[in-house]
Amino acid sequence: MTNVVPLKTPPALAVKDLTTGLKIRGIWHQAVRGVSFEVMPRETVALVGESGCGKSLTAMSIMGLLPAKVGKVLSGSVTVDGREVVGLPEREFEGLRGNLVSMIFQEPMTSLNPVLPVGFQIAETLRRHRGLDGAAARAEVLRLMNRVQIPASARRIDDYPHQFSGGMRQRVMIAMAVACRPKVLLADEPTTALDVTIQAQVLNLIAELQAEDGMAVLFITHNLGVVASIASRVVVMYGGDVVETAPVDDFFQRPSHPYSAALLKSVPRADRRPDSLEPIPGQVPTLFQMPDGCRFQSRCAHVMEVCTRRPPLLPGGGRPDHQMRCWLGRPEGGL
């Protein structure tokens, strides 16, 4: 009998060696440098790090939303459901954006058009990608509003964004993002401006929609408490580099990169005294100040001479799928 080897499920989103540049004062700087990760169908991967570490810029690169004159993908590959999107003409990308891959943006008040009813804005995606219009589009919008648990949707479909609370505006953004059942959903800080109770409701809603549609979710956040509750894997960014990638349980039990360990020590916890918090000294360097080697070296307590060279991803933590970009992970005596 011939042994049949089961085929590996391909990732819904695969980012490989992605380098994105920003043009500042006429000079291109590598703001995202050689970023690689995958997100499988039905999986949630958390992309974490301080503000200015390149998380949102990575998402904008995936979505093809970089402003043409000041931002561009310099090299690398991004495949969505097996389709390469880097270098796609804008007209072709418009057919994928909101359809195959969607994004929930950080601040719904600035992302929604204040002069258009929310129902009209949700229907735009349906008109563009599914050819719905008139009564059919309105019926589908009502279904989506009910699906994201907006109360009295029949009465509120013609309301404007300012008539909704922050949590309800975020539900409108989610309805727009999932209207065409995308394969990949990028959620960029979707709970930042919400109180804790509404945060939990929004996170549960995203999880329910993911379970129904089988979406891959890339969840961008700086809130490590959220990461622990929703993600299966963690990708840590600093200064535009991926510095650690690990299963979520191994990450919290055995953070390996000095930056990851410092992040966890700076998080308030109910079982610790407030004066036990250890803030990370300094701040993320600007693109003009970014060192060529390890980008965390100016804030690291373990800095060595070799840190002037950029480390590769080396083994970290306690599992084979746990890696860190730090020379502390090199074999004894190696470079």
**Could you read off the pLDDT of 89-118 as tens digits, one per residue?**
999 999 999 999 999 988 777 889 999 999
pLDDT above 60 (res 202): yes
CB 233 within 8 A of CB 245: yes
Task: Give me the residue spans of the domains in the chain.
Answer: 13-231, 241-329
pLDDT above 80 (res 6): no
pTM check: above 0.85 = yes
CA–CA gap between residue 180 and residue 200 (Å, rounded): 24
Q: Given this model, what pLDDT does residue 334 score?
A: 43
How is domain 13-231 classified at the CATH fold level? Answer: Rossmann fold (3.40.50)
CA nearest neighbour of 304 among 325, 323, 327 = 327
**Could you read off the pLDDT of 253-283 as tens digits, one per residue?**
999 999 999 999 887 776 677 667 788 888 8
**What residue type is 281 in one-letter code?**
P
Q: Given this model, what pLDDT does residue 245 score?
A: 97
Mean pLDDT of 144-154: 94
Query: Tokens in use for 197?
Result: 């109770």
pLDDT-wise least confident of 22-26, 41-45, 64-68, 267-271: 267-271
